[in-house]
């Protein structure tokens, strides 16, 4: 069961938003007696993993577990994968894969290992998709992106990808836990997300499934927080769109309906501006705890995005006294036509930052070149 944190209404496990007030639902599953409340814990990018599945407690002593995996094994905990990666614990799973925390026995570095399920490892379409993910993901090395580092296959036929191990709190959990986020925190996270997207978009790669569940809030050694974009597994290289459409014609839904842009809902060609729309929705939700389009069902909310204007930010939460300039920036980011939005993630992040600090809420600013300089070493 899921519960609305605002009004307390209970819903089934498949519901995501409250039909009364539009608030994102949280899990209402009871914990066993004596169990501790979940804490922010390791999570990693993975194609279909959910944030709840990425929570785990510290592993026990596993000296009695097998030293090597067996073909088709569902849980590789304790195994030595490909003679290199010691699997510490499972941190998530989905329909296509399992995700583990692992240690490189040579360097002692921690990684996230995404293992394709045994059934799909023999599926030509699934393998083609995984190889496409890997080829795109290995080009996305950036502090604000959890990228694919390596694609491998063991002698036993276990196919896996290696990613940085990202530890922190899922952004959707942060928003649900606090109800909403303060404007300075939101602008900081938006800037981080925009920097990661800027690199991807410069390579003609579109995320397609940008949402709070795919962003991690992490901490640097000095205690400052930063955001990392996860799960570029749905990423599409624009020049390869036709090929990828063939690969996903078997029923895999590319994207999450609650955060899809109007052009994505209509099945039209996409570019980086679809991610900007999704980031606008995310920003609105971070600031208010709610989404700007209302509906009793998911279908009604999607139709609202195609035909209606978003509920004005300050009308949704008038008691917060958010600046009018911030509302204008978000309204531009959430325009139905891509041509009417900010044209780059940098432009949106800078406009939001300027509006939040009392400056103008226009487009690009001198800060754009600073972001690009950090990205490309200038």
SS3 content of the chain, % helix, strand, coil (to 5): 35, 20, 45
- Report whether 212 contacts 280 (CB < 8 A): no
* Catalytic position from the list 209, 231, 340, 368: 209
Nearest to 214 by CA among 236, 193, 229, 199: 229
Residues forming a β-bridge with 90 = 100
Question: Helices (DSSP H) in 97-166: which residue ranges?
Answer: 124-137
Nearest to 154 by CA among 65, 71, 45, 66: 71
The answer to whether residue 340 is catalytic is no
Q: Is 281 helix (H, G, I), strand (E, B) or coil?
A: helix
Please name the residue that has the structure tokens 């890997």. Answer: 134
Residues forming a β-bridge with 24 = 17
Q: Give the angle 360-366-368 at the CA atoms, nearest 5°.
A: 100
- Report whether 130 contacts 116 (CB < 8 A): yes
Q: CA 44 to CA 112: how far, in whole Å? A: 6
Phi, psi torsion values for 94, nearest 5 degrees = -150, -165
Residues forming a β-bridge with 98 = 93, 115
Q: Is 33 exposed, middle or buried (0-12, 13-18, 19+ CB in 10 A)?
A: exposed
Q: CA 347 to CA 362: how far, in whole Å? A: 9
Q: Which residues of 81-104 are buried (b: 16+ CB within 10 A; e: fewer)?
A: bbebbbbbbbbbbbebbbbbbbbe
> What would the two tokens of residue 271 be?
């570019």
Q: CA 194 to CA 372: how far, in whole Å? A: 11
Greatest distance between any 2 Cα atoms in the chain: 63
Q: CA 176 to CA 188: how far, in whole Å? A: 18
What residues are labeled active site?
Answer: 209
């Amino acid at each position: 069961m899921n519960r609305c944190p605002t009004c307390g209404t209970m819903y089934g496990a498949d519901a995501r938003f409250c039909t009364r007030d539009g608030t994102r639902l949280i899990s209402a599953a009871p914990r066993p007696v004596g169990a501790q409340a979940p804490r922010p814990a390791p999570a990693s990018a993975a194609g279909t993993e959910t944030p709840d599945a990425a929570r785990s407690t510290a592993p026990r002593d596993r000296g009695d577990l097998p030293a090597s995996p067996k073909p088709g094994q569902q849980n590789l905990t304790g195994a030595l994968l490909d003679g290199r990666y010691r699997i510490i614990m499972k941190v998530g799973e989905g329909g296509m894969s399992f995700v583990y925390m692992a240690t490189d026995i040579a360097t002692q570095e921690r990684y996230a290992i995404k293992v394709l399920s045994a059934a799909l490892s023999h599926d030509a379409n699934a393998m083609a998709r995984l190889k496409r993910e890997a080829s795109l993901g290995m080009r996305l090395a950036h502090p604000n992106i959890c990228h694919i580092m390596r694609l491998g296959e063991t002698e036993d036929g276990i196919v896996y990808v290696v990613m940085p191990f990202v530890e922190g709190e899922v952004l959707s959990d942060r928003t649900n836990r606090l109800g909403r986020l303060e404007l300075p925190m939101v602008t900081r996270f938006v800037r981080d997300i925009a920097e990661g997207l800027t690199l991807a978009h410069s390579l003609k790669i579109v995320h397609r499934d940008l949402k709070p569940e795919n962003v991690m809030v992490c901490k640097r050694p000095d205690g400052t927080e930063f955001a990392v974009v996860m799960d570029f597994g749905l990423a599409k290289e624009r020049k390869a769109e036709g090929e990828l459409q063939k690969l996903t014609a078997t029923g895999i839904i590319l994207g999450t309906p609650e955060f899809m842009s109007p052009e994505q809902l209509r099945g039209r060609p996409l570019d980086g501006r679809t991610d900007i729309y999704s980031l606008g929705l995310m920003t609105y939700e971070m600031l208010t705890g709610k989404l700007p389009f209302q509906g009793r069902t998911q279908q009604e909310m999607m139709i609202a995005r195609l035909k209606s204007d978003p509920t004005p930010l300050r009308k949704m939460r008038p008691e917060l006294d958010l600046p009018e300039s911030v509302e204008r920036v978000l309204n531009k980011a959430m325009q139905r036509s891509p041509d009417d939005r900010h044209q780059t993630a940098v432009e949106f992040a800078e406009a939001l930052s300027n509006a939040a600090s009392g400056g103008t809420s226009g487009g690009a600013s001198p800060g754009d070149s600073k972001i690009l300089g950090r990205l490309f070493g200038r």
